[in-house]
Structure 1
């Protein structure tokens, strides 16, 4: 386990999946991150690559060949190499090998950096295409936060999510695990969204952001603790498992979507897919402030 630390926070990152597993306040020892209780969800903050969400029948076609891949791809279950480590940052990398090519035939390099400054942890990812042919992929993140935070007597419903800018967003409905991009619906977030488990009875709330800088803040009236995640991505998901009464919520920056309900299975035409030219790079980032 890798550790970042400053005067305010101690952060732990697992090279397996380059997954953020813990963020603790040094003074109060308050744990902000979901601790992967398998009763509800056995992960903390997985990195989603080379797909986001689920493929129809867990398979896709590329260059005439069919490949099998489960939800959110394989990066979350692969050991990353530690490229650089210091007290305030760490850099990890995953590259293609024979095992990844059984699932995803492309050459790639996925580099992830976590940087801790004061009360903020920054995440930056770079996808490099070392090949002479385009790289087709999606990328996402899935950090989960404890709810409640710091008050065991508090309840899930004591918390709210505030989205800034405060406006009406377009939401991509999910039909089962699949995106229904042809039937986006408005979601009024001019006021905070009160958390309730029933909000997630049709899976995640997926907001279309169009790469505009957006902040999601988790807060409560019971205390002053919370988190604020800032991103500039095409989409963000807000999720807690249903019908489980799970004591956490995820804010999920997505540079991609689950297969559309009308997906053909062709990766090249998959909804919200990225096409990275030969020898080019793609960058993605988000920041979390803990208070």
Structure 2
């Protein structure tokens, strides 16, 4: 559901005494996050990728055949859903916070037959950016959905200078993707005391996908010095992704997963799907700390 019309660009900038953030109303997408004049979000270079921090809704990843079924009716959705391609409205705004909202409409109902309200709030608090996600089911039926974040952080100099330090020393098992679907294979990622050293070869088979982490916080290190941290409490899955030689690293907390290659297409039975009852609000929060 790519949208190719001309648009008036609306960028919202937030600030406090320590950090600032800029968000594009298209997709409510974070495009800058600065401290001491340093931007921690990568600057788009379409040679590699044309996004900075898209919201993933109402699916995460790719569906088998880009389609799913609900009550024996088939619908199509592109990878990561459609929210990132819509203009969000501003519900309220202060100097250091803003709430964006997307309502279901005639276009979303063609590919996703549920009434919803999706909110994404950005709030600055000291050195932290809090990203708060709210999904309300405004349909009469139980609403299946997934939601996830996809922020891309700037990588400078050598990619191998960077590592990830998780808050639990555990075994890291990555579930492998083939043609953007899980294929029932997995591999153990080498680590030491909760730390994974990064190199581009880690991503030769697409993203690292962790399904069973004990950790809910990770710190990105550069030459073993803390650079930033991401707290993803309440998100059961985590993706880590980049492209060959790209100057960014995506840290992606998810409430949802791509399809398995053996999936039968039934949306309700999809691995990782969230089920939301009528008029209930689902909420999650990601905290990015600049260190």
Do these two structures clear the TM 0.5 threshold for a shared fold by scoring above it?
yes
- Counterpart for residue 131 of structure 1: 139
Q: Which deviates more from structure 2 when the two are superposed, residues 165-174 or residues 111-120?
A: 165-174
Residue from 166, 170, 175 that aligns with 2:169: 166
Once the two structures are superposed, residues 228-276 of structure 1 have per-residue CA deviations (whole angstroms, 9 ceiling, x without a partner) of 00112110101002xx310110000000000012111111111111111
- Counterpart for residue 58 of structure 1: 66
CA contact (8 A) 2:114 2:138 kept: no
- Give the CA deviation at 1:185: 4.3
1:243-254 alignment runs, 5 A limit? 244-254=244-254
Q: Distance in 2 between matches of 1:290 and 1:142?
A: 17
Residue from 8, 17, 25 that aligns with 1:15: 25
- Counterpart for residue 160 of structure 2: 157
User: How many correspondences in the alignment?
Assistant: 279
Q: Which deviates more from structure 2 when the two are superposed, residues 164-173 or residues 253-262?
A: 164-173
- Counterpart for residue 151 of structure 1: none
Q: Structure 1 unaligned segments of length 5 or more: list them.
A: 149-153
Partner-residue secondary structure (3-state), 2:260? coil
Is 2:208 the counterpart of 1:198? no
- Counterpart for residue 237 of structure 1: 239
Once the two structures are superposed, residues 204-229 of structure 1 have per-residue CA deviations (whole angstroms, 9 ceiling, x without a partner) of 1111246x55112111128x561100
Partner-residue secondary structure (3-state), 1:82? strand
Is 2:110 the counterpart of 1:107? no
- Counterpart for residue 128 of structure 2: 120
TM-score (norm 1): 0.91
Q: Distance in 2 between matches of 1:11 and 1:47?
A: 16
- Give the CA deviation at 1:65: 1.4
CA contact (8 A) 1:176 1:202 kept: no
- RMSD value, Cα: 1.6
Q: Which deviates more from structure 2 when the two are superposed, residues 257-266 or residues 182-191?
A: 182-191
- Give the CA deviation at 1:156: 1.0
Q: Structure 2 unaligned segments of length 5 or more: list them.
A: 1-10
Q: Which deviates more from structure 2 when the two are superposed, residues 252-261 or residues 272-281?
A: 272-281
Residue from 38, 47, 50 that aligns with 2:46: 38
- Give the CA deviation at 1:171: 2.6
- Give the CA deviation at 1:146: 0.5
CA contact (8 A) 1:158 1:195 kept: yes
TM-score (norm 2): 0.91
- Give the CA deviation at 1:60: 1.1
Q: Distance in 2 between matches of 1:175 and 1:270?
A: 17
CA contact (8 A) 2:181 2:259 kept: yes
In structure 2, relative to structure 1, the CA distance for the partners of 1:22 and 1:103 (3 Å cut) is same
Partner-residue secondary structure (3-state), 2:163? strand
Q: Distance in 2 between matches of 1:191 and 1:133?
A: 42
Q: Distance in 2 between matches of 1:245 and 1:186?
A: 23
Once the two structures are superposed, residues 121-141 of structure 1 have per-residue CA deviations (whole angstroms, 9 ceiling, x without a partner) of 011111101122110100000
